[in-house]
Amino acid sequence: MSSRRLVILSGLSGSGKTTAARALEDEGFFVVDNLPFVLLPQFLELSEPQVQENTEVAIVLDVRNRSFLAGWESILQTVREAGHAVEIYFFDASDEDLIRRYSETRRRHPLVQKEGIPAAIAQERDLLTGLRRAATAVFDSSGLTVHQLRRKVISYVHGQNEQAAGMTVHLQSFGYRYGIPADSDLILDVRFLPNPHFVPELQPLTGLDRAVSAYVLEQPACHEFLRHGRELFQFLLPQFLGEGKSYLTISIGCTGGRHRSVAIVEELRPCFAGEGIALEVIHRDIAKGKS
């Protein structure tokens, strides 16, 4: 049996394991969710013909499968003795964040009883204490978006130093109709600009279309807004970098998040092309309807 890099994804329910699994799958890992841990050695042996040589493997393990908590140390020792390079990524978050996530998604915590979610989280923390101590890396997802957590995981997998990577800027458009993004550090309102929604031929399009972008960007007020915006970012970004800030989320909003905010986000992309900045762009509400 050839040796493989094996990453165990574990941690508290709702702390980001699914996000991490998807990120690793996109990076070429062979990912298996909720495998009975006792079957891990057999899985690695039996899957060898189906998984290409040198393919890295990730296994998601958590309290949905209670039996994995019994004997996990000896099983991992067996796997290591077979020559596999084992890493454990443990995902955690504050109780407040975990409770909020379960409230928002209305998912059922795997340990929840009549005592409620806080008691289930406390029980889960206790059950996973040993695994957390053995972790190669601990990822605290408190206050992070899925995009930010994804980048942290990928950076770690590839051996990148987060401090050396500088700052991740999350630049997003949104529609006020659907609420202000809760993770925003800076919010810019562009509803003062003429709305393409009221131009019949532009209404079904979005700010990614050239006709809408031209309509928005040719407005004199937009010229002024972009000039001031570029000056603002030119000043702020070095300050945040100098303070060691790792993540900055800038949200630009219009009524529905389809036209004006999208066009302006795209126009402002070059402002974030500096050294030490990794840019992530998302148009949160572009598919939700007409502005």
What domains are there in the chain, each with its CATH number? 5-160 (3.40.50.300), 165-283 (no CATH)
The encoded tokens of residue 280 equal 């992530």
Q: What integer pLDDT is reported at residue 114 of this predicted model?
A: 61
Q: What integer pLDDT is reported at residue 291 of this predicted model?
A: 43
Q: Greater confidence, 14 or 228?
A: 228
Q: What integer pLDDT is reported at residue 75 of this predicted model?
A: 86
pTM of the model: 0.55
In sequence order, the β-bridge partners of residue 88 are 8
The encoded tokens of residue 17 equal 């394991």
d(CA 100, CA 1): 44
Q: Which amino acid is at 260?
A: R
d(CA 160, CA 85): 19
CB-based contact 235:171 (threshold 8 Å) = no
Q: Which H or E run includes 217?
A: helix 210-217
Q: Mean pLDDT over all residues of the chain?
A: 85
Q: Which amino acid is at 149?
A: L
d(CA 197, CA 195): 5
Write down the residue that tokens 């209670």 correspond to: 66
The encoded tokens of residue 130 equal 């040993």
pLDDT digits (tens, 9 = 90+) for 121-179: 888 888 888 888 888 888 988 878 888 888 888 888 887 544 445 688 889 999 999 99
